[in-house]
Amino acid sequence: MNWLYTISTTELAIIAIFCVLYLAYILRVMNTSNKLGVGFNKVFIKTVVRFAIFALLIVSLLGPSFGESKREVKSVGKDIFLLVDLSQSMNASDIQPTRLEKLKFELKNIIDAFTSDRLGIIIFSSEAFMQSPLTYDQNALNLFVETLHTNLVPNAGTDFGPPLRMALEKLNEDESPLTSQKSKIILLISDGEDFGESTDDIASEIADQDIKLFTLGVGTERGSKILTRNGYKKDKNGNDVVTKLDSRSLKNLANNTDGQYFEINETNNDINRLINKINTIEGELRDTKQVDVSANRYYYFLIAALVLLLLDVITNVRVIKI
């Protein structure tokens, strides 16, 4: 027999106090019976019944489980690649504290929202690098997110092509447990214009393979200066560079692949809408297992306690003859 709950020290103390008080009650009844000249055996049955009721209630509260049976457990999930732009413009502070810091916070929320799915992280600017392969390990993913900063990649513009190509190749690898392309998702996150020339070709491949592609823009239209170690970033003429969210490329990419565009700015945060949208996508069956389970049979003991309680109520013990 298995138990759903265990008795803590506090509960053991309460049971011990009850037993002591109940023993004192029994001694009092015995003393009263002796004074009245009535044998204790006439009220002993009541004492036993009430103690049995208490014991049965304790057992039912602990959730006794027995009677093993087979149950089918299905594992259903999706493969999701997060493509994170780490160009220097992500250090802009038009979203507090910075675009990147805000994004890191929201990435952890995304990871926490998909506990049964495999997630991977690809970082990019003009080139793409694998930060984390597809994994169920949320602790590892959160650690990778925490270490994200703009010095991890070369800062020579933004190109959506390399990260999209890398994500497509990884999702199509033979060892992937998913065969349905509809259960594979790419989320491209950036704040700027795409300067790549191969993005359209890769986007067409993604659309043809029916892989879901969503885009997330981070930034504001008013923009912000870019703070570096040597002060604010300047252009060739010595003027401060102001970076603004350029959502056109992200919107076009989402529209061309039958995806959807989301945004984080100073007044709007679409992360919850994004999570809800991904949740509407049906995952694929990964594995099916037969496991041994035992049912909670607390009601047997509860019914027995109620029956004894009913007998205790309707049964009278006569101890004095008049």
Residue 173 has pLDDT above 90, yes or no: no
Residue 43 corresponds to which amino acid?
Answer: V
Residue recorded with tokens 């945060």: 269
**pLDDT top residue among 71 and 200:** 200
Give the DSSP per-residue string, 18-69: HHHHHHHHHHHHHHHHHHHT--THHHHHHHHHHHHHHHHHHHHHT-EEEEEE
Per-residue model confidence (pLDDT) at position 65: 76
Residue 211 has pLDDT above 70, yes or no: yes
- pTM metric for this prediction: 0.67
Rounded-to-integer distance, Cα 95 and Cα 93, Å: 5
- Per-residue pLDDT of 25-39, as tens digits, reads 888 877 877 776 666
Per-residue model confidence (pLDDT) at position 239: 85
Task: Among 21-30, 140-149, 207-216, 287-296, name the one with the lowest average pLDDT.
Answer: 287-296
Q: Of the spans 231-240, 280-289, 305-314, which averages the highest pLDDT?
A: 305-314
| Percent of the chain clearing pLDDT 70 (strictly above) | 86
Token pair belonging to 133? 């392969």
* Whole-Å CA distances, 57 to 10, 94, 164, 298, 303: 17, 61, 61, 9, 9
Per-residue model confidence (pLDDT) at position 61: 82
Residue 195 has pLDDT above 90, yes or no: no
> How many degrees, rounded to 5, is the angle at CA 278 between CA 211 and CA 180?
35
Token pair belonging to 74? 């299905």
